[in-house]
Structure 1
């Protein structure tokens, strides 16, 4: 299983950056996990729009799904449009982004496959298992398994034992860590810190931790250090262009 970061900024993309978006590849199958602001240009540097096989969206905030619109446009407006793109999301999560164009304009470009928290299903050669994780809107964390390797992704999530279960013995935990240490009280149930997810990664026995969704301007080194206080494994930060082969112990930018 090969994993590529298209973007990892939280809330809005910093200069030259992109929000949450990840490309997961296995046996020639290409799955996009989230498509936040500015991720499609980075995707198209690697693969054509019609080479994407499926999309999984964790929740409906635009920093996780806004670029679904240009991806669908790039597929629908070709002279030889590809088959409809399977898009997996919680009920209602994509209503806003799918309403950006006039009704029906992009209808032939996708097929919406609504999921429920706790459901398991196949996405091509990947086995997906979801868990509802606490956020300000319904949010589905996902555990992807292929060839004995496991990638767990939280979407955006406040601290929860469900995160630990999602990431149990995962080869990689990709975890939202908007804050380094102190999470403001008004979002404490909905977002996490690097320090918190470090402890959760340790409790889960995850082999590697990748912090993502850092608030713009956050010092990545400070986030890594905070996570490492409670976690002895390898800690990284999701930066655009990072590629990890989960069959190996190290990745390369």
Structure 2
């Protein structure tokens, strides 16, 4: 399994980083995992728009799905006539981004597959498990397994035992860590800190922790240090590559 980080900035993109987006590939099958602001240009540095085989979206906030619009425009208007792109998301998560264009303009560019978080399914060579994780909007955490490797991605989430269950013994956990130590009180149930991500990684016995969705201005060194107090395995901050 090959993972490329397209972006990881929380809330809004910066000059250094797009928002959340990950390109996951196995046996030539390419999944786009979230498509936040500014991830489409980053995607094009790795592959063509028509080469994406499926898209998984955790939830409907634009820092996780806004660049689905240029991706679909490129496939619909680029002249290569690719197959319809399967889009997987919780119910109604994509309604707003799919309504950005005139009615019917992109209808032939995608097939929408809505699922209830908690369901499991297969996409190409990937077995996909999902869990409902706490956020302001319904958010699906994803567990992708292919070729003996397991990758777990939280989307945006507050603390939850379902997250530990989802991440159990995963090779890689990509965990939302908006703040290093303490999440503001108004968001404490729906967002996480790097310290909490480290505790989750330790409890779930994951092989590697990747911190993502850091709020712009939050330092990587501070976040890694916060996660390190609970988790002794490899820790990195998601950066575009």
2:81 aligns with: 81
Residue correspondences, number: 241
RMSD (CA atoms): 0.6
CA contact (8 A) 2:58 2:64 kept: yes
1:153 and 1:161 map into 2 onto residues whose CA distance is 15
Aligned equivalent of 2:205: 205
What residue is the counterpart of 2:125 in the other structure? 125
Q: CA deviation at 1:80?
A: 2.9
Give the Å deviation of 1:117.
Answer: 1.1
- Which 4+ runs in 1 deviate beyond 4 A? none
| In structure 1, distance between residues paired with 2:227 and 2:49 | 35
Q: State the partner residue of 1:101.
A: 101
TM-score (norm 1): 0.94
SS of the residue corresponding to residue 30 of structure 2 reads: strand
Which residue matches 1:184?
A: 184
Taking the aligned partners of 1:221 and 1:105, their CA distance within structure 2 comes to 45
Whether 2:49 is the aligned partner of 1:49: answer yes
Structure 2 residues not aligned, in runs of 5+: none
> Could you tell me which residue of structure 1 aligns to residue 238 of structure 2?
238
Distance 1:211 1:45 in 2: 22
Structure 2 CA distance for aligned equivalents of residues 139 and 181 of structure 1: 22
* 2:3 counterpart of 1:3: yes
Cα distance in 2 between the residues matched to 1:147 and 1:80? 30
Q: Extract unaligned runs of 5+ from structure 1.
A: 242-253
- Mapped partners of 2:221, 2:196: distance in 1: 16
Distance 1:65 1:28 in 2: 23
State the 1:208 CA deviation: 0.3
